[in-house]
Amino acid sequence: MRTGAAAAASAQRRPGEGKGTSAIRGAGRTTSEDRITSLTKRSGLVRRLWRSRAPVEGDGEADTRTHGSKGCCMGKSTKVSKSNPGAEAELKVLTHSILKKIKEKQLEALLQAVESKGGVRSPCLLLPSKVDSKLGQHSYSLPLLLYKVFRWPDLRHSSELKRLSCCESYGKINPELVCCNPHHMSRLCELESPPPPYSRYPVDFLKPPDSPDPVPSSTETGETNYSAPVGLSDSQARQQSGERAHWCVVAYWEEKTRVGRLYSVQEPSLDIFYDLPQGNGFCLGQLCSENKSQLVQMVRSKIGYGIQLTREQDGVWVYNRSCYPIFIKSATLDNPDSRTLLVHKVFPGFSIKAFDYEKAGSLRRPNDHEFTQQPRTGFTVQISFVKGWGQCYTRQFISSCPCWLEVIFNTR
């Protein structure tokens, strides 16, 4: 009987024990499956990021529009050597090992920034700044390595970069965590001195000092057409009503015709674009243009993400967000003693300090044609999309360029 009772008791315990063991095993399987799913997703994100890396010259995918045969502004060489299979494999292993240590949400944000090429607003990717990685014979910080992989394969030092004002790390010195989002950075457009003579832009033909010029227009051409009301009445009305004063106004031109009204800028940063996924600013694509020129329409379609105009402590910066070069003329970019102005070529992904208030004040001389002929609201910077002008181009005047901007600064 005892044997039978023990067997019955044992039989009664087995179902309970089986349920408990089964529940534990089930929970273990669920945790394991979640971990596998997470690893699979992370691996997929890492693979997509690697496929979206910046192409290197010679791999069949390099975009010659980014650098061209010469570098930014003054012909500074930025040519990238052809990819080496061994170095490429080493870079892939290193990049994968770094990306796999990043949190999944951060990987998703990085992928969004990289795949949209900066067109979609993406959060900062805050990672340790003092982690170095060895690549060949060179050692790179974690941020610098990610910038090389996803934007500029020829990048060598952080001194070549400028952080955009939208970044959380902007203005901070040596933080423990630094933003590694490649599209929160721009490449500095360095000016060489002295500039080559072929790119000089003459100002001898500018209007004499006694010539009236009451409206914002190019000082290079006497025949300009306006497709919208002229003047700064909107901005002046805002100032009279007590609203914040503008620091600049922007006029958009197609050849000799201004399109749309003057755009008054109060915010410290302005996007000027034709087609931007999350654009907020001056959208040129919404302006009604009657110009049927095929060249104008072609250039207009290439404006894309356009430029970002930012007022900072040391001056006004222009960041080229498009896929094509832009061309800039500004008196504060030149030698103060020069009687000529330069047209500077700025490649995609590069930034240039287009206007310096301190220099502008020191350059205001009674007999200086370039400044005495500027509108009463301040000085101007001219920016042409895709097409350049000046002595080294077929177009001598900016009014011959298909699509261009006139940025008029309020220095009061």
Dump pLDDT digits (tens) for 178-224. 899 999 999 998 765 444 433 333 332 223 333 333 334 443 443 44
CB 395 within 8 Å of CB 256: no
Q: Is 301 helix (H, G, I), strand (E, B) or coil?
A: helix
- CA 398 vs CA 196, 329, 342, 350, 402: distances in Å: 20, 10, 12, 21, 9
In a domain, 35, yes or no: no
pLDDT of 322 > 60? The answer is: yes
318, amino acid identity: V
CB 354 within 8 Å of CB 333: yes
pLDDT tens digit sequence for 355-410: 998 888 777 554 445 444 444 334 889 999 999 998 889 999 999 999 999 999 88
For the chain, what percent of residues have pLDDT higher than 90? 43
User: Which residues form the domain of 350?
Assistant: 248-364+374-409
Whole-prediction pTM value? 0.76
Last residue of a domain, one of 168, 188, 208: 188
Q: Output the pLDDT for position 12.
A: 53
| 163 vs 170: CA distance, rounded Å | 6
Question: 387 and 277 in one domain?
Answer: yes
| 181 vs 123: CA distance, rounded Å | 8
- Count of structural domains within the chain: 2
Last residue of a domain, one of 188, 219, 235: 188
Tally Cβ neighbours within 10 Å of residue 12. 9
In a domain, 354, yes or no: yes
Q: What is the mean pLDDT of residues 168-185?
A: 84
